[in-house]
Amino acid sequence: MSPTDAELAAEAATGSSKAQAALIDRHKRLVYSIPKRYRLDDATCDDVFQNVFIALFRSLNSVRDQQSISKWLMTTAHRECWRLARKTTPPDAWTQSQRDRHDAPPDEAAQAWERQSRVHEGLSELGGVCEKLLRAIFLERSAPDYTALAARLGLAVGSIGPTRARCLAKLAQILQPDLESEV
Amino acid sequence: MGQNTRFSRAATSFSQVPKPMTSSLRNTEPADNSGISRERITSLVLGDLPAPEAAALRAQIAASPRWTAFAQTIESIVTTLRTDDSVAPPVELVRTLKTRLAMASASSAPSVLEWLASLPRSIASLVFDSRNQAVVAGFRGGGLAEAVHLAFSQDDLHIDLELTPLDGERTNRWDVLGQIDRNGATGPLDILALAGEHAADSTAWNGAERLAVDGTGMFSWPTRAGTYSLLVRSGDRIVVLPTIQIP
């Protein structure tokens, strides 16, 4: 069974590097994407990424008691972005939103980011041809060339469609296990 | 592209629950005789079905709350994938962070044993010893090296041990095969083996041997005859199996 965030956090609180690494791997995309969305430069994005996870492992007990790890990470990354952006941008160049203090990302955005993170986690758990197929079809920048994709994955071109449907159904089972008992 | 296949305006949240780490295909045969299946619904959401077939399937789905829920999930996943704007961090950045944290943990964190010693401890009861059963039944016990079965219990934690001689008669080497049943409890699971009856004294734990335990709670521990204690850490507690006499 995949350990939950709470289980990994408990293990990480003992100083387990393995648990810390697992939490980083699970949430790295979620955290790194936030400064990228705010169009911060690469060096600042790297700083936000490191500072947020270092803060997480220093604060694990309070994080576990109060809220989910992913929500904590999003809020902390959001605040860190604003803190660092203000340091690197002269006050007279601040945008209105930078002048307004924002303690957390908007709820709708945070929910969308968390869904993206879960889907990526689900794709990693899916693995194999399904993961490669779904990432190629939905996440690669250029429109997929199904002939080349079929060759790359060792599939018949005509099977791409049905395989895509089967793989999405499997991904749904991973992401919504409570549906498994009913469907 | 098929007709509008929206089943709900509300986006589905994917809850984080412990789930099996498997990517094997589950049985995707239709659950009933209606012709609805997970794959057909997925094809509908993706716009792969001809219009008449799509319309008929939509009607069937609308009549079933469970299939409607599934269709909503697929829609949400497809929408999430199509609007994904997340970015993976550079590999080197992640590696550097992990290294930095590992070094910080090694230098400043209390040792694992110090942390274990702070957990609440209880003593497990020996509830079965096959050597006693052999004596009661009138069979000769001791003397020859025979497999021994022990069972310990403490609250909802049960530990079965099978002691098997490795070298036949008069052996000094034994294999201990253990099975820990936590009755569904989750959380970290560790086992330490300690020579002697010192398990109650945490200062003696520095000499303990950490045993490898798999995800099902099974472990194997080759050792020599003697008296041992086992410390089982389950979640936030320690259960001590004292005085295990390996014949």
% of chain B exceeding 90 in pLDDT: 28
Angle between helical axes of B91-108 and A42-58 (0-180°, round to 10)? 30
Q: Tell whether the model's pLDDT for residue A64 goes beyond 90.
A: no
Q: Tell me if chain A has a CB within 8 Å of the CB of B42.
A: yes
Q: Are both B145 and B228 inside the same structural domain?
A: yes
**Structure-block tokens of residue A75:** 């809020």
Q: Are both B154 and B42 inside the same structural domain?
A: no
Q: Are both B76 and B126 inside the same structural domain?
A: no
- Number of residues assigned to chain A: 183
Beta bridge partners of B179: B160, B218
- Which of B16-30, B128-142, B208-222 shows the highest mean pLDDT? B208-222
Q: Are both B130 and B232 inside the same structural domain?
A: yes
Which chain B positions have a beta carbon within 8 Å of A179's beta carbon?
Answer: 66, 69-70, 73
Q: Which residues of B, range 121-150, sit inside 8 Å of A by Cβ?
A: none
Q: How confident is the model at residue A140 (pLDDT cuts 50, 70, 90)?
A: confident
Cβ distance A10 to B236 less than 8 Å, yes or no, reads yes
Q: How confident is the model at residue B17 (pLDDT cuts 50, 70, 90)?
A: very low
pLDDT at B235: 83
Cβ distance A176 to B215 less than 8 Å, yes or no, reads no
d(CA B202, CA A19) in angstroms, rounded, equals 25
Which chain B positions have a beta carbon within 8 Å of A73's beta carbon?
Answer: none
d(CA A141, CA A158) in angstroms, rounded, equals 23
SS3 assignment, position B96: helix
Is B101 part of a structural domain of the chain? no
pLDDT at B9: 40
DSSP state of B52: H
pLDDT at B37: 86
Cβ distance A168 to B77 less than 8 Å, yes or no, reads yes
Is B109 part of a structural domain of the chain? no
**In B136-200, where do the E strands start and end?**
148-154, 157-165, 173-181, 189-195
Name the domain boundary from B84, B104, B123. Answer: B84
Cβ distance A115 to B11 less than 8 Å, yes or no, reads yes
Is B106 part of a structural domain of the chain? no
Instruction: Find how far residue A112's CA is from the centre of its chain.
Output: 10
**Region B93-108: what's the mean pLDDT?**
80
> For residues B14 and A115, is the Cβ–Cβ distance under 8 A?
yes
Q: How confident is the model at residue B225 (pLDDT cuts 50, 70, 90)?
A: confident
pLDDT at B245: 87
Cβ distance A172 to B38 less than 8 Å, yes or no, reads yes
Cβ distance A28 to B17 less than 8 Å, yes or no, reads no
Q: How confident is the model at residue A180 (pLDDT cuts 50, 70, 90)?
A: low
pLDDT at B14: 65
> For residues A80 and A104, is the Cβ–Cβ distance under 8 A?
no
- Return all residues near B126 (Cβ < 8 A) that are at least 6 apart: B150, B151, B152
Domains: count for chain B: 2
Q: How confident is the model at residue A126 (pLDDT cuts 50, 70, 90)?
A: very high
Q: Are both B177 and B237 inside the same structural domain?
A: yes
d(CA B186, CA A55) in angstroms, rounded, equals 26
Q: What is the pLDDT of residues B29-52, one digit of tens each?
A: 444 556 788 888 988 998 889 999
pLDDT at B19: 42
Which of B101, B111, B233 to probe by mutation at the A interface, max A CB count within 10 Å? B101
Range list of H helices, B63-178: 65-82, 91-108, 112-117, 130-136
Q: Dihedral, CA atoms, A139, A141, A142, A143, nearest 10 degrees?
A: 30
d(CA B99, CA B92) in angstroms, rounded, equals 10
Q: Are both B131 and B221 inside the same structural domain?
A: yes
> Can you tell me the ipTM of this complex?
0.87
**Torsion sign (Cα): B212, B217, B221, B227:** positive
Q: Tell me if chain A has a CB within 8 Å of the CB of B97.
A: yes
What is the CATH number for B136? 2.60.40
Q: Tell me if chain A has a CB within 8 Å of the CB of B60.
A: no
Q: Tell whether the model's pLDDT for residue A183 goes beyond 70.
A: no
Q: Are both B171 and B65 inside the same structural domain?
A: no
Is B108 part of a structural domain of the chain? no
Q: Are both B71 and B193 inside the same structural domain?
A: no
Cβ distance A172 to B188 less than 8 Å, yes or no, reads no
Q: What is the mean pLDDT of chain A?
A: 85
Q: Output B234 or B145, whichever has higher pLDDT.
A: B234
Return the number of other C-beta atoms located less than 10 Å from residue B56's C-beta.
13
Q: Output A149 or B137, whichever has higher pLDDT.
A: A149
Is B92 part of a structural domain of the chain? no
Q: Are both B49 and B125 inside the same structural domain?
A: no
pLDDT at B24: 36
Q: Tell whether the model's pLDDT for residue B161 goes beyond 60.
A: yes
Report how many Cβ contacts below 8 Å link chain A to chain B: 194
Q: Tell me if chain A has a CB within 8 Å of the CB of B83.
A: yes
- Which of B43-57, B104-118, B162-176, B230-244 shows the highest mean pLDDT? B43-57
Name the domain boundary from B36, B69, B84. Answer: B84
Instruction: Find how far residue B130's CA is from the centre of its chain.
Output: 29
- For residue B226, the surrounding DSSP H or E stretch is strand B226-234
Q: Tell whether the model's pLDDT for residue B204 goes beyond 70.
A: no
| Mean pLDDT lowest among A87-96, A141-150, A164-173, B136-145 | B136-145
- Using CB atoms, which residue from A33, A111, A173 is nearest to B87? A33
pLDDT at B187: 80
> For residues B215 and B203, is the Cβ–Cβ distance under 8 A?
no
Q: Tell me if chain A has a CB within 8 Å of the CB of B25.
A: yes
- Residue B77, domain extent: 1-10+23-84
pLDDT at B202: 66
**Structure-block tokens of residue B6:** 């929206």
pLDDT at A45: 94
A64 min Cα distance to partner chain B (Å): 14
% of chain A exceeding 90 in pLDDT: 43
% of chain B exceeding 70 in pLDDT: 69
**Structure-block tokens of residue B102:** 């590992």
Q: Are both B136 and B199 inside the same structural domain?
A: yes
Q: What is the pLDDT of residues A144-175, one digit of tens each?
A: 788 888 888 888 888 888 899 899 989 998 99
Q: Are both B59 and B141 inside the same structural domain?
A: no
Is B97 part of a structural domain of the chain? no
Q: Tell whether the model's pLDDT for residue A89 goes beyond 60.
A: yes
Q: Are both B224 and B120 inside the same structural domain?
A: yes
Q: What is the mean pLDDT of chain B?
A: 78
DSSP state of B187: S
